[in-house]
Structure 1
Amino acid sequence: MAFGYVYPAYECFKTVERRPLEIFQLLFWCHYWIIVALLTVFERVGDPLISWLPLYNEAKLAFFIYLWHPKTKGATYMFDVVLQPFISKHEAKIDRCLVELRLKTADIAALFWHKTTSCSQTTLLDLLRNVSWMPTSQTCHNQHWHNLKKDETELVGKTTKCVSTMENRVAADDSKKKVSYDEQLSKSKRRKWRVFNFICVK
């Protein structure tokens, strides 16, 4: 990491800040970062396949040092001999693929945006519909509660009426019993009085 990215980045910074600009040195660092970018992409695929080889990491480090070292200037050699001829040969095809990829990306982004806005609108409409239904459901709830209270009041009234009727019946039965008891008592007294008069007469 330090020899492949940190030190080259610092040297590139010094080259950019130097006045006057050294065009060849700046061109060298452009070559280096192009090659490093391609290697970073390829090693994402290649590392799982060949990282088991002995001294793989050491070889990769040595290659990075070879690319930027002032004595070897490997980046310039790799760019001029390997990369530049290959890219020049397939440049039109690469540009066409990039344009197609850009168009496909734009189509995918537009489709994603359409689906996102449609889903958001549907969710918002559902939310507004639920909010608009809440007072209606609250009114129904209040009406139901009012009906329950009304039924409860009617039930209490009927119960009170039944209890009052039962109390009146019990009171009437008690008064009837009391009258019959008084009648029986007077009859008993009259009977005793007759018996007493009968005994006295004898």
Structure 2
Amino acid sequence: MAGLLPKNMLEKLDQALEEENMATKYLNVIEKKTNIKKRYIVIAVGALVSFYLVFGYGADLLCNLIGFVYPAYVSVKAIESVGKDDDTAWLMYWVVFATFSVVEFFSDILLSWFPFYFLGKCIFLLWCMAPVGWNGSNTIYRKFIRPFVLRNESKIDDVLSTVTKGAKEIVGQATKDAQGALADTAADMAADAVRENMKKDE
């Protein structure tokens, strides 16, 4: 199976597996116990997950977990770290993830019927969270999202301002209505209590 991958990809995979992190720590333990190289363990797990994403039940849930759980964990670590470079990288991922989720909402009904849809989506999300050399979210953000936002920033700000103003007005009106209803209810309860006391006095 490793022979199916290009040599430069295998070299990059080996380099990534030499980095110190939680995943490589567990892979080192498995490698020592099984005498199987980390490279082959990762390729085998990747093949199993790929097979499941094509034929398995609940492939959409697995795909969403892959695209959410690890990035969420690493984002929390990035927030808690001193440096800001990792914060920027993961913010870009979440902007791309959110944009993709909105686009997917409109196309998911059709695309989810294709057998390789969830595998393709998972590969896309993994590419978006990949290390710096391969990082897709950086590419998508800088080539598409950032230019679009900068070009339309004033229009977007106007729409957001209008929506915010409208939401405040709706909340304000709802608060007034609720206060008025509460005042009416309190007045009715007070009047009922006075009538009850007057009846008792008679």
Which bracket does the TM-score occupy, shorter chain normalised?
A: 0.5 to 0.7
Q: Deviations over 1:35-83 (max 9, x none)?
A: 1122233434443454333322222211111101124200110011111
Does 2:71 match 1:8?
yes
Mapping 1:13-162, distance limit 5 Å:
13-18=76-81, 21=83, 23=85, 25-70=86-131, 71-138=133-200
Q: CA deviation at 1:92?
A: 0.6
Q: Provide the C-alpha distance between the structure 1 equivalents of 2:101 and 2:194, rounded to a whole number of angstroms.
A: 56
**TM-score, reference length from structure 2:** 0.60
Letter in 1 for 2:120: A
Summarize the Cα distance change of 1:7–1:104 in structure 2 as closer, same or farther, 3 Å threshold: same
**TM-score, reference length from structure 1:** 0.60
Identity among equivalent positions (%) equals 25
Q: Which moved more, 1:59-68 or 1:131-140?
A: 131-140
What are the ranges of 5 or more consecutive residues in structure 2 without an aligned counterpart? 1-63
Letter in 2 for 1:7: Y
Which one has a bigger Cα radius of gyration?
Answer: 1
Mapping 1:144-183, distance limit 5 Å:
none
Q: Provide the C-alpha distance between the structure 2 equivalents of 1:44 and 1:61, rounded to a whole number of angstroms.
A: 16
Summarize the Cα distance change of 1:130–1:45 in structure 2 as closer, same or farther, 3 Å threshold: farther
What are the ranges of 5 or more consecutive residues in structure 1 without an aligned counterpart? 141-202
Q: Provide the C-alpha distance between the structure 2 equivalents of 1:103 and 1:91, rounded to a whole number of angstroms.
A: 18
Letter in 1 for 2:126: I
Aligned to 2:11: none
Root-mean-square deviation over aligned CA pairs? 2.2
